[in-house]
Amino acid sequence: MDFLSFVILGLGSGAIYAAFATGIVLVHRASGVIHFGFGATALFGVLQYADLRRHGILVLPVGHIDLGTEPSVALCVLLVLAHALLFTLLIYLLCFAPLHAAPPLARVVASVGVMLAVQALIVARFGSAPRSVAAILPNKPVTVLGATLPRDRLYLAAVALLFAAALHLWSTRTRFGKATRGAAENEKAAILLGLRPRWLAAVSWLLAGAVVTVVGILIAPTTSLEAGSFTLLIVPALGAALVGRLSSVAVAAVAGLVLGGLQSGLLYLTREFSWLPQNGLKQGLPFLLVVLMLMVAGRRLPGRGTAQDRLPPAPAGRLRPVPIAAAVAAAAIGLPLLSSQWRLGMITSGVAAVLCLSLVVLTGFVGQISLAQMSLAGVAGFTLSKVTADGGVPFPVGPLIAVLAATALGLLVAVPALRVRGLHLAVVTLAAAVAIEEFIFKNPKVTGGLSGSTVPQPEIFGFSLGIRGGAEDFPRVTFGYFVLVVTVATALAVAALRRHELGRRMLAVRGSERAAAAAGINAARVKLTGAAISSALAGVGGTLLAYQQGQLSYASYSTFTSLGLLVAVYLGGITSVSGALLGGTLYSGGLVSVALHEWAGLGDYETLILSIGLIIVAIRSPDGLAGLTRQRLTPRLRQLARRTTTTESIAVAEPIAVRESTTTTKEVNPHVAAG
Amino acid sequence: MTAALAVTSLSAGYGSAPVIRGISFEVLPGEIVALLGRNGAGKTTTLLAISGLVRARAGEVSVGGKVLPAHHPRAVTRAGVGHVPEERALFANLSVRDNLAVAGARRAHDLRRVLELFPELERLLDRRSGLLSGGEQQMLALARAVYQRPKVLLVDEMSLGLAPKICQRLVGVLRRLATEQGMAVVLVEQHLFLALEAADRAYVLHRGEITLSGTRAELAERRAELEAAYLGSVTAGATAA
């Protein structure tokens, strides 16, 4: 096969990129959301189609409908499409319509939440067994200019382009399309003109849902179908959507097709030229495209009138010695007393808390969104493996080198962030996560292939700090204490950073880069410093995780783990140290995870439950569970405490009041008036 | 004659803070009425409450004798109320032509009618509205509202940031709309002299209440009181009409 044949073959994946990019542009233009979940929702529909064709069963998110017979292709497509439209409408109305005026971060996390929830739903409803689907489009080869080309890829490309052209015309030529664009831009103006912005947006969501589902079904016969097949295809689609500047459906669709063709062409080149990197080139291309597009379009400072990201307030980082000492003492006493499962949960929570702290600094303090935090942790983990297992570097020099490596990469990823903000930054970091995973983590030379990379247990002066002891001694309490010390130290350091002048500068940059720059703050330097501290913390977390696991594979630091980390810390509270600690318990394998397994028997639904929790928190309480505690629980406790004090004070004050005058009670005891 | 717009005992505010308290006024067809007052007097809130964008706490609004449902902007628009808000609220990424198209499914002669009022927009039809000058944007905002053929036109701070010449030009357009099409216009202005020049009658608001009202001639005679209203020393109930 020659280069052209490879490029034409790539039109298959190009068609799905084009369809996803079309969907992304449509919904972004209508509701300001970058929907990461199109891949997952399309996959749900495609798997529904596969089961419907094969067994005549329409699998629904809850329950199923048995049609009894093997339905025709047309009926299957219609049923799946009807379900997809309803599903998409529900996603919009329940998750994104309430967030229409929310800051970009809330929309990003809700989008990630939907993606993970649908992905978890796919695993729960369809399992992980691969499926295949019979050809729908004619697939007889056709010969053009001497090259034998797969006919169905050409049809797929034509269908994707046809959809894009129709939607482009709808969007630019019809009053409805123009009104949708207008309403997304200025809701108040639309309302004053008698339009219904939510309904206009809902129609765009429906159209996007229809396009991704139909093209997904058409492409299904050309690919193997399993849970996760389509989910991360959203990354190249995002690249294509960015080429269309998130506003032109037609340009985005063409870019998607070209990208698919080029990726496939690259495969041909890697086969022909062995000196080219054999891993990750395919995934590296969309990353480069995303970064280039955003770097070119981005600005060093946001433009005049650019809406500021309204993140939840970051608590002052004040230390409360008594609760802190009590929590540390409880953890220290609990570690040896807990069963191995709960102890492991506690250790995982501690490690995850350090990782969550890295996001608190980056997102909570500086206002930068990152979906690649576990990639940085992974670089630390694999570096640790290389320098300790292969290089024989002892503890603690090995971990220090690993943390430095993560910091260096973090700074590299932060460079685009100097010009890119909000939703776009989320896209860049997601693309970076996928590129790092494919380019570095899946490279057997770096990570040891299927056997993975080993990490020797940490030892200091002959004393083992490792997690593994004898057969009965897992996880070792000593390792638990090691993690506890590191967690407490990093948490105190982050709290100190919040109180420090640098922390205040970070919050100033988060609040308004323009205002901060006007006040003499070097926003770029603050951002880079924040990125360095954050990636160092991610490196520390990654190192601890490496020591905990002992044997690393790319799955330990995959893109999904980065998304899972964002879920955990946002649920906990992304602007506070307490939120990060709470986030640690919510991370996969943490204390909440153990509780779900042990007490509720809901371990299989952990991701689904947490993702739905994330969406609810994004809508109802942007400062997470820690913020909710601060806002709701703490005042109530204070009120309760005040009532108790008041009752006691009245009892004490009464004799004085009686002695002087009943009206002097207020002066004698101010608590009475306050209560 | 039935009032084109009748506001009766209207109260509205934000959160727990009341902004307008029981204000009442009427606008007849073909009449321009100005709402005057200092910053924070409640002028803009009055317009927003009429449009249904701010929920009225008490009172009612009727258009052509028909009472409008409370807090229902779409019903207000359908009843024939056009609103040009202070910030003009254009769709900056849409062209001038598309801004007009979004306002209503009208025919070619409607576009001609609007362009006759604002001939400056004709050569700008395909330009993105975000690229227009302030004066051109205000013209487009007015043109878009007029394109919907409203019976009542609410215009908030029309002169904000515009050159006097443009303001005069826009006042002329409002006068034409009132006299030729019988449109009732409510003009919220801080520019006292421009408002008095444009309006047939005016109401002065102070801390959410109407403290002074009268025809243009009456108010011109009571200039000292009017200026005092702007400086905040007018006493409640000094009604000229």
One-letter identity of residue A484: L
Shortest distance between the Cα of A192 and any Cα of chain B, in A, equals 6
Instruction: Select, from the ranges A96-110, A160-174, B217-231, the one with the highest average predicted confidence (pLDDT).
Output: A160-174
Task: Give yes or no for a contact between A203 and A176, defined as CB atoms under 8 angstroms apart.
Answer: yes
The Cβ of residue B114 has, within 10 Å, a number of other Cβ atoms equal to 23
Query: Over chain B, what is the mean pLDDT?
Result: 88
Task: Give the whole-angstrom CA distance, residue A197 versus residue A530.
Answer: 38
Q: Shortest CA distance to B90 belongs to which of B147, B32, B167?
A: B147
Q: Which two tokens stand for residue A138?
A: 């004619």
Task: Give yes or no for a contact between A51 and A127, defined as CB atoms under 8 angstroms apart.
Answer: no
Any A CB within 8 A of B55 CB: no
More confident residue, A280 or A307: A280
Task: Give yes or no for a contact between A593 and A347, defined as CB atoms under 8 angstroms apart.
Answer: no
Question: Which residues face B62 on adjacent strands?
Answer: B6, B67
Tens-digit pLDDT profile for residues A328-360: 999 999 999 999 899 999 999 999 999 999 999
The Cβ of residue B126 has, within 10 Å, a number of other Cβ atoms equal to 9
Any A CB within 8 A of B73 CB: yes
B148 HSE (CA, 13 A, CB side)? 28
Q: What is the mean pLDDT of residues A259-270?
A: 88
Residue A641: what pLDDT?
Answer: 72
Task: Give the whole-angstrom CA distance, residue B234 versus residue B230.
Answer: 8
Tens-digit pLDDT profile for residues B59-69: 999 999 999 98
Task: Give the whole-angstrom CA distance, residue A80 versus residue A661.
Answer: 79
Tens-digit pLDDT profile for residues A115-173: 999 999 999 999 888 888 888 888 888 887 777 778 888 899 999 999 999 999 999 88
Q: What is the mean pLDDT of residues A416-443?
A: 82
CATH 1.10.3470 fits A321-621, yes or no: yes
- A111 contact partners, CB below 8 Å, separation of at least 6: A33, A34, A35, A36, A37, A96
Residue B183: what pLDDT?
Answer: 95
One-letter identity of residue B27: V
Which residues does chain B have within 8 Å of residue A182's beta carbon, measured at their own beta carbons? 91, 94, 98-99, 102
- B208 contact partners, CB below 8 Å, separation of at least 6: B18, B19, B20, B21, B23, B41, B42, B45
Residue A109: what pLDDT?
Answer: 85
- Taking CB atoms and an 8 Å limit, are B89 and A192 in contact across chains? yes
Task: Give the whole-angstrom CA distance, residue A593 versus residue A345.
Answer: 8
Sign of the torsion angle spanned by Cα atoms A143, A147, A150, A152? negative
- A490 contact partners, CB below 8 Å, separation of at least 6: A354, A357, A537, A540
Cβ-based contacts under 8 A for chains A and B? 56
* Residue position matching structure tokens 């198209």: B101
3-state helix/strand/coil string of A237-292: HHHHHHHCCCCCHHHHHHHHHHHHHHHHHHHHHHHHCCCCCCCCHHHHHHHHHHHH
Q: What is the mean pLDDT of residues A16-27?
A: 94
The listed CATH number (1.10.10, 1.10.3470, 1.10.12, 1.10.287) that belongs to domain A3-140+154-276: 1.10.3470
Shortest distance between the Cα of B75 and any Cα of chain A, in A, equals 8
3-class secondary structure, A668 = helix
Task: Give the whole-angstrom CA distance, residue A569 versus residue A578.
Answer: 10
Q: Where are the domains of chain A?
A: 3-140+154-276, 321-621, 628-674
DSSP string, A300-355: SSPPTTPPPP-PPPPP-----HHHHHHHHHHHHHHHHHS-HHHHHHHHHHHHHHHH
DSSP string, A520-537: T--HHHHHHHHHHHHHHH
Any B CB within 8 A of A468 CB: no
Q: Shortest CA distance to A298 belongs to which of A430, A418, A428, A433?
A: A418
Any B CB within 8 A of A191 CB: yes
Question: Residue A322: is it exposed, middle or buried by C-beta count within 10 angstroms (0-12/13-18/19+)?
Answer: exposed
Q: What is the mean pLDDT of residues A551-569?
A: 87
- Taking CB atoms and an 8 Å limit, are B144 and A247 in contact across chains? no
- Taking CB atoms and an 8 Å limit, are B53 and A195 in contact across chains? no
pLDDT of A91 over the 70 cut? yes
DSSP string, chain B: ---SEEEEEEEEEETTEEEEEEEEEEE-TT-EEEEEESTTSSHHHHHHHHHTSS-EEEEEEEETTEEPPTT-HHHHHHTTEEEE-TT----TTSBHHHHHHHH----HHHHHHHHHH-GGGGGGTTSBGGGS-HHHHHHHHHHHHHHT--SEEEEESTTTT--HHHHHHHHHHHHHHHHHH--EEEEEES-HHHHHHH-SEEEEEETTEEEEEEEHHHHHHTHHHHHHHHHT-PPTT----
What does each C-alpha distance from A120 to A37, A106, A658, B217 come to in angstroms?
12, 21, 67, 73
Residue A95: what pLDDT?
Answer: 92
Task: Give the whole-angstrom CA distance, residue A12 versus residue A267.
Answer: 14
Task: Give the whole-angstrom CA distance, residue A652 versus residue A649.
Answer: 5
Give the pLDDT band (50/70/90) at residue A655. Answer: very low
Task: Work out the angle between the directed axes of helices A234-243 and A11-31 (0-180°, nearest 10).
Answer: 70
**ipTM confidence:** 0.88
Residue A42: what pLDDT?
Answer: 94
Give the pLDDT band (50/70/90) at residue B121. Answer: very high
Which residues does chain B have within 8 Å of residue A247's beta carbon, measured at their own beta carbons? 93
Give the pLDDT band (50/70/90) at residue A1. Answer: low
Task: Give the whole-angstrom CA distance, residue A220 versus residue A44.
Answer: 12
- Taking CB atoms and an 8 Å limit, are B91 and A192 in contact across chains? no
Q: Which two tokens stand for residue A598?
A: 């042990």
Using alpha carbons only, give the angle A124, A127, A128 rounded to the nearest 5 degrees. Answer: 130
Which residues does chain B have within 8 Å of residue A179's beta carbon, measured at their own beta carbons? 102
Residue A653: what pLDDT?
Answer: 44
pLDDT of A658 over the 70 cut? no
- A149 contact partners, CB below 8 Å, separation of at least 6: A4, A5, A8, A141, A142, A143
pLDDT of B127 over the 70 cut? yes
Q: What percent of chain A has pLDDT over 90?
A: 43
Question: Which residues face B7 on adjacent strands?
Answer: B25, B61
Residue A360: what pLDDT?
Answer: 95
* Residue position matching structure tokens 């102070």: B206
- Taking CB atoms and an 8 Å limit, are A191 and B94 in contact across chains? no
Cis link prior to B164 (omega < 30° from 0)?
Answer: no
Q: What percent of chain A has pLDDT over 70?
A: 91
- Taking CB atoms and an 8 Å limit, are B101 and A175 in contact across chains? yes
pLDDT of A187 over the 60 cut? yes
More confident residue, A633 or B200: B200
Task: Give the whole-angstrom CA distance, residue A172 versus residue B173.
Answer: 31
Strands of B152-156's sheet in order across: B81-84, B152-156, B184-189, B32-37, B201-206, B209-215
Residue B233: what pLDDT?
Answer: 54
Query: Over chain A, what is the mean pLDDT?
Result: 85
Domains of chain B from N-terminus onward: 1-80+150-241 (3.40.50.300), 88-148 (no CATH)
pLDDT of A471 over the 70 cut? no
pTM strictly above 0.95: no
Strands of B56-63's sheet in order across: B17-27, B5-14, B56-63, B66-67
Q: Which two tokens stand for residue B106?
A: 């009208």
pLDDT of A15 over the 90 cut? yes
φ and ψ at residue B22, rounded to 5 degrees: 55, 45
Which residues does chain B have within 8 Å of residue A181's beta carbon, measured at their own beta carbons? 91, 93-94
Task: Give the whole-angstrom CA distance, residue B144 versus residue B122.
Answer: 13
Tens-digit pLDDT profile for residues A481-519: 999 999 999 999 999 999 999 999 999 998 888 889 899
pLDDT of A382 over the 90 cut? yes
Same fold, A3-140+154-276 and A321-621: yes
Task: Give the whole-angstrom CA distance, residue A581 versus residue A491.
Answer: 8
Task: Give yes or no for a contact between B198 and B33, defined as CB atoms under 8 angstroms apart.
Answer: no
- Taking CB atoms and an 8 Å limit, are B148 and A193 in contact across chains? yes
Task: Give the whole-angstrom CA distance, residue A385 versus residue A391.
Answer: 9
Any A CB within 8 A of B90 CB: yes
* E-assigned strand segments in A525-627: 551-552
- A342 contact partners, CB below 8 Å, separation of at least 6: A591, A594, A598
Helix (H) or strand (E) holding A66: strand A64-66
Tens-digit pLDDT profile for residues A51-62: 999 899 999 999
